[in-house]
Amino acid sequence: MVVFGESGLYLMLMITATFVLAGMVKGVTGMGLPTVAMGILGALVSPVAAAAMLLLPSLISNLFQFGGGGNTRTLLKRLWPMLSMVVVATLLASVWIAGGDTRRTQFALGVALILYALWTLAGKRIRVDPQREKPVSMMVGMVTGVLTGGTGVFVMPAVPWLQSLGFEKEELVQALGISFTFSTLALALGLWWHGALPVQSVTLSAFAIIPALVGQWIGTRVRRVISPLLFRRCFLLCLMGLGIEMIVRAV
């Protein structure tokens, strides 16, 4: 693990670069800010510190998606089984990332990054009988919450599940924003509950908002000149590399 020591300037530069990159990924692909931030910062600082840093940038960017469509009430009505379990499981599981057992959380984060990359690269879809949607949705929420509380990453298996529900494009974007917002708030509450949200972490998280939004702005323009598919594949391969590196280091 890289130690920042007394070099506050180095810390600020690393946070800035990480969140600009993470924001660019979100601008191009519509998701991935917390995944990239945790993947990079989790290799440099403790997972709990990285998770605390991503809270405000993630929340601000996701709130735009949350309220960015006219289907909020309908989506909340359909997604509440998953969202409720995400909150409960994240609160209970956040003790792991707050507990300081960095080897265990880094290993789990590495596995989560690899699974997410492989699933997305394979283009797999979950197919479930509509009559079983509610119980399966609760199960998906529980697993997502456990991974969120343990790693700070809240994409698996919530993202593939939402992609399988047959939403229109704008509905899917808003549904992702709603899911990410609930996960972010639950993670913040869990870290606070376990005393893992020191003032310095909140300050650094606030500082990271601007780089993340700048990166997101750049990403939306990059999307117009390159193939989003090519970018997504390169991004996912990089995530796999990060995940493998974190697993090896944890073991």
As a whole-number percent, the residues of the chain with pLDDT over 90 amount to 16
Q: Summarize pLDDT for 118-177 with one digit per residue, the tens.
A: 877 887 666 777 788 899 999 999 989 988 888 787 877 888 888 788 887 778 878 888
Q: Which is higher by pLDDT, 175 or 71?
A: 175
Give the confidence band of 80 by pLDDT, cuts at 50, 70, 90.
very high
pTM, two decimals, is 0.77
CB-based burial, 92-118: b 16+ in 10 Å, e otherwise: ebbbbbbeebbebbbbbbbbbbbbbbe
Quote the pLDDT of residue 2.
43
- Confidence at 1, pLDDT banded by 50, 70, 90: very low
Mapped onto helix, strand or coil, the DSSP state of residue 110 is helix
What single letter denotes the amino acid at residue 165? L
> With bands split at pLDDT 50, 70 and 90, how would you rate the model's confidence at 19?
very high
Provide the b/e sequence for 22-33 (b: ≥16 CB within 10 Å). Answer: bbbbbbbbbbbb
Predicted local confidence at residue 7, as pLDDT: 61
Indicate the helix (H) or strand (E) that contains 180: helix 169-193
Say if residue 14's pLDDT is above 80: yes
Task: Write out the two tokens for 63.
Answer: 């709130």
Q: 198-248, pLDDT tens digit by residue? A: 777 778 888 889 999 899 888 878 877 777 677 767 777 777 877 787 788
